[in-house]
Amino acid sequence: MPSVRQPAVAGMFYPDDPRELRGMVSQYLAAAETAGGVPKAIIAPHAGYIYSGPVAASAYALLKAARGAISRVMLLGPAHRVAFSGLALPSSDFFATPLGDVPIDREAVAALKNLPQGDASAAQVGEVLERLWGGPETLIVISSDLSHYHDYQTARRMDAATSRAIESLRFEDLDFDAACGRVPVSGLLYVARQRGLSIRTLDLRNSGDTAGPRDQVVGYGAYAIN
In the chain the domains, ranked by start, together with CATH numbers, are: 4-225 (3.40.830.10)
Kind plus residue range of the DSSP H or E element containing 206: strand 199-206
Quick one: pLDDT at residue 207? 98
Q: By three-state DSSP, how is residue 78 classified?
A: coil
pLDDT above 70 for 118? no
Residue 106 has what pLDDT? 96
- Helix (H, G, I), strand (E, B), or coil: what is residue 109? helix
Residue 51 burial (10 A CB sphere; 0-12, 13-18, 19+) = buried
Q: By the 8 A CB rule, do 78 and 180 touch?
A: yes
pLDDT at 181 > cutoff 90: yes
- For range 170-198, the mean pLDDT: 96
Spatial CA neighbour of 188 closest among 36, 39, 46: 39
